[in-house]
Amino acid sequence: MVAAFNVQNYLATGISLEDGKRDLPPKPESAIAAVVEVIKEIQPDILGIMEMGDPSMLADLQARLKKAGMDLPHSEWVKGADPARHLALLSKYPIIARQSRDEVPFDLNGVRTRVGRGILDVTVELAPHYNLRLVGVHLKSRRQVPDFDEASMRAKEASHVRKHLDAILTAAPKVNLMLFGDLNDTKNEFPVRELIGSAKSPNYMRDLVLEDRSGFRWTHFWPAADIYSRIDFLLVSRGLGPEIDMKKSGVSSASMWFNASDHRAIFATVKVPKK
């Protein structure tokens, strides 16, 4: 099973936000304990993470999960341009290839900038005859910043992630490819549509429309506006699509989710075919 979870500022110490005007406090111990409980309820074999702190904090979560009975010894951490929040991955299975990108530069309104959290890209060996390639992203937040339009930033980031996916799928059309991420937009907006692509294209990425036990699809709650939305996604390639067990996939229904994060975890089960 693959899970993806924005753990909301899993930080050890106060760190300046991307706008340079505020500091993020360390994540409270009670919230960290709730993160572990959410993950424990899902029991993933692979965990994609958004808003992870530095490598020491990834090791902290890894140790806590092991103490809770989930040994995920293999890891990936992406530096990215954001000094505070990072992409990461923990896996029960060995990582046999690493093609993550810390630096993904592009121009926005004539200014040189970068994909804020980079692109996580690893290949995991689920069985001697079966590999799963995972791409993780966390697009620009919907928080307004003075230097540029946040929606334009997300659109540019999504276009560059799409180029990354296209390169993978063009080189290996039958690859078992899954994208996980906090896209900070809903399915009707350009960034999500760009990453999914055209249904007529061989590089189409299918959106796994996941639900919790009550049939609800939302993954994020914005308390300032009382808005629930689906902005966390798992997308799969044509090669991987038939091997997803939708009956064992969904959105976490953990009761302590709000103590852990402003996001709910999502998960999908991959049925590894017999050789």
102 token code pair: 């810390």
- Residue 107: predicted pLDDT: 80
CA 86 to chain centre: 10
Q: Which residues, at least 6 apart from 182, have a Cβ–Cβ distance to it below 8 Å?
A: 6, 50, 51, 137, 138, 139, 220, 231, 232, 263
Q: Spell out the domain ranges in the chain.
A: 2-270
Distance CA 4, CA 76 (A): 14
Q: In what order do the strands lie in the sheet with 130-138?
A: 95-98, 120-127, 130-138, 177-182, 232-237, 205-207
**pLDDT surpasses 70 at 18:** no
**pLDDT surpasses 60 at 19:** no
pLDDT in tens, 213-230: 999 999 999 998 999 999
Q: Which fold, 2-270?
A: Deoxyribonuclease I; Chain A (3.60.10)
- Residue 112: predicted pLDDT: 79
Distance CA 166, CA 172 (A): 10
- Residue 103: predicted pLDDT: 86
Do 55 and 35 contact (CB within 8 A), yes or no?
Answer: no
- Residue 237: predicted pLDDT: 98
Q: What is the pTM of this model?
A: 0.93
pLDDT in tens, 31-63: 999 999 999 999 999 999 999 999 999 999 999
pLDDT in tens, 150-196: 778 889 899 999 999 999 999 999 999 999 999 999 999 999 999 99
The pLDDT confidence band at residue 147, using thresholds 50, 70 and 90, is low
DSSP 8-state assignment for residue 148: S
Mean pLDDT of 77-83: 92
Query: HEC states along 68-131?
Result: CCCCCCEEEEECCCCCCCEEEEEECCCEEEECCECCCEEEECCEEEECCCCEEEEEEEEECCEE
Amino acid at 171: A
Percentage above 70 pLDDT, the chain: 94
Mean pLDDT of 122-146: 89
